[in-house]
């Protein structure tokens, strides 16, 4: 059983209350940037939520960097060193304020030739922009676009600039404008407000599965659009340590929805259960992650090999 708790050190980034507070704080800046640079406000906010853990990440607290932008050789400002996908700490840009970070994000998208094709996409087509950002290489997570779309649908960010919830695979068509350029959309491109998109369901499921402590050990769940590298950046922990804490050799062994421990797991289980009954497809490793027990110690306790696939109904002793 996953124990869902909150910790002052490891804030739940995707609880609705935290995200709504972030939206309220930064939607005016996102709208200003939409007017000045042509970047949809829903996309800007969704990226900020995802890249910064809705403003809770270690990187944000240290540098006001809401979009994970690194400091290249031409960057003349302050830098903050944090773990990412490199063998040594990466250099990230520091800003004096969140507003400055949002402005630099807008300048990056409008001045880097990688993103020039984005600006031919309708400003209300947040689905097109999300897939365009992924195609242009903004992030390495394979489901980065789906995560952005899911956040926008989940929190109705499309309403911020007067847009609507969009059906997948449909081109945005504006039939006419009324009342100071308020758009009226073609019915074929609009999804019913009460209908959950596939991406929205993905994000909602991640919210429900989020954990911050198992067996008195800090952990998280790999959210849609995240990688082990983004977890390393968010909590300022090296990839090497994350691999060690989670007893794996490569970050490709971690997928969306998996538990990721942020400190070393315990040798013994201190929770209320004594025995776990294996389900179809369970491995001893999965049980060790679910209960926060070091794999070798759990294998030793049950006289098994570390990475054995368990028979359905097998009794696994936890203590």
Per-residue pLDDT of 13-66, as tens digits, reads: 457 888 999 999 999 999 999 999 999 999 999 999 999 999 989 999 999 999
- pLDDT at 225 (0 to 100): 92
Model confidence, pTM: 0.85
Average of pLDDT values for 79-108? Answer: 94
Is 252 in contact with 229 (CB distance < 8 Å)?
A: no
Measured torsion, CA atoms of residues 84, 12, 262, 68, in degrees rounded to the nearest 10: 0
Least Cα distance to 292 among 319, 268, 312 occurs for 268
The rounded mean pLDDT for the chain is 90
150 to 52, 128, 155, 191: CA distances (angstroms): 16, 13, 8, 13
Neighbours of 88 (CB within 10 A): 9
Question: Does 4 score more than 50 pLDDT?
Answer: no
pLDDT digits (tens, 9 = 90+) for 173-199: 777 776 656 788 888 899 999 999 999
Is 207 in contact with 221 (CB distance < 8 Å)?
A: no
How would you classify the pairing of strands 182-185 and 213-214?
Answer: unpaired
- pLDDT at 180 (0 to 100): 59
- As a whole number of angstroms, the distance between CA 175 and CA 151 comes to 26
pLDDT digits (tens, 9 = 90+) for 134-149: 999 999 899 999 999 9
- As a whole number of angstroms, the distance between CA 266 and CA 249 comes to 19
Neighbours of 279 (CB within 10 A): 12
175's tokens: 């039939």
Burial-class residue 119 by CB neighbours within 10 Å (0-12, 13-18, 19+): middle
Least reliable range by pLDDT among 116-120, 150-154, 178-182, 252-256: 178-182
Residues in contact with 2: Cβ distance below 8 Å, sequence separation at least 6, in sequence order: 209, 211, 214, 259, 290
- pLDDT at 81 (0 to 100): 94
What pLDDT band is residue 7 in, cutting at 50, 70 and 90? very low
- Between these two residues, 202 and 211, which has the higher pLDDT value? 202
- pLDDT at 182 (0 to 100): 78
């Amino acid at each position: 059983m996953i124990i869902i708790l909150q910790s002052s050190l490891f804030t739940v980034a995707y609880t609705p209350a935290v995200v709504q507070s972030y939206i309220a704080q930064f939607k005016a800046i996102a709208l200003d940037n939409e007017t000045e640079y042509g970047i949809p406000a829903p996309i800007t906010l969704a990226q900020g939520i995802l890249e910064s853990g809705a403003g809770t990440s270690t990187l944000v607290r240290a540098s006001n960097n809401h979009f994970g932008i690194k400091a290249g050789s031409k960057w003349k400002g302050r830098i903050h060193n944090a773990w990412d996908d490199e063998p040594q700490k990466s250099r990230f840009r520091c800003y004096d304020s969140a507003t400055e970070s949002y402005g630099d994000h807008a300048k990056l998208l409008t001045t880097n030739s990688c993103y020039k094709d984005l600006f031919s996409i309708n400003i209300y087509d947040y689905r097109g922009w999300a897939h365009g950002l992924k195609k242009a290489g903004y992030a390495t997570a394979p489901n980065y676009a789906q995560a952005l779309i899911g956040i926008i649908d989940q929190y109705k960010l499309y309403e911020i600039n007067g847009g609507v919830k969009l059906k997948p695979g449909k081109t945005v068509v504006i039939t006419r404008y009324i009342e100071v350029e308020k758009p009226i959309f073609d019915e074929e491109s609009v999804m019913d407000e009460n209908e959950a998109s596939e991406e929205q369901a993905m994000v909602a499921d991640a919210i429900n599965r989020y954990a911050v402590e198992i067996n008195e050990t800090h952990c998280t769940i790999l959210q849609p659009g995240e990688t082990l590298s983004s977890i390393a950046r968010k909590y300022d922990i090296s990839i090497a340590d994350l691999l060690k804490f989670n007893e794996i050799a490569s970050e490709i062994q971690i997928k969306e929805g998996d538990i990721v421990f942020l400190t070393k797991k315990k040798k013994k289980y201190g929770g209320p259960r004594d025995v776990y009954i294996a389900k179809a497809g369970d491995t001893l490793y999965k049980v060790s992650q679910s209960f926060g027990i070091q794999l070798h110690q759990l294998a030793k306790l049950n006289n098994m090999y570390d990475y054995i696939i368990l028979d359905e109904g097998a009794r696994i002793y936890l203590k």
